[in-house]
Amino acid sequence: MSPQIILSIFSLLWLLFLTLSLRKALSHYKTLSRIKKGVSLDNLLDQIVKMLSRNQKSQRQSDQRIGDLEQEIKNNISKVGLVKFNPFNDRGGNQSFVLSLLDSNNSGLLITSLHARDGTRIYTKKVENGKAKSLQLSKEEKMSILSATRKS
């Protein structure tokens, strides 16, 4: 085969490839331009870019709000422990209780109710990091805190 024939065949193949590529690009362009009648592709792409920018801004705001809520949730009661007990070994049932209400840092409040025949007394203690702020804890109060923190 002469070099001219080889060059002609190569040129025809290259022309066929370019024609198919152009046809595919035009088909894609027609599909895009059919999305909105009367709007040029440039305007359509500008609208898409603006919409993307608004979406990114909204996403950043949502991420910030989620971060704020996560911080706020850490201070909410998320751990609860309840221990019922009998403070008097010789009589009565387990009508007394200790309720611990703690946040994610194991800080919060203990509510102790001591039930006796002559009445019920209720006491509260502040808890920080799983320990009483200024008072000693009874064994039932320690058990209530342990019960609350084990569940997390």
pLDDT in tens, 89-105: 766 678 899 999 999 98
From residue 113, alpha-carbon distances to 72, 92, 131, 141 in Å are 30, 14, 19, 11
The maximal CA–CA distance of the chain, rounded, in angstroms, is 120
Per-residue pLDDT averaged across 33-41, rounded?
70
- Kindly report, residue by residue over 93-143, the tens digit of the pLDDT: 788 999 999 999 899 999 999 988 888 899 999 999 888 877 888 999 999
Strand stretches in 70-149, DSSP E: 79-85, 96-102, 108-116, 119-128, 131-132
pLDDT-based confidence at 152, cuts 50/70/90? Answer: low
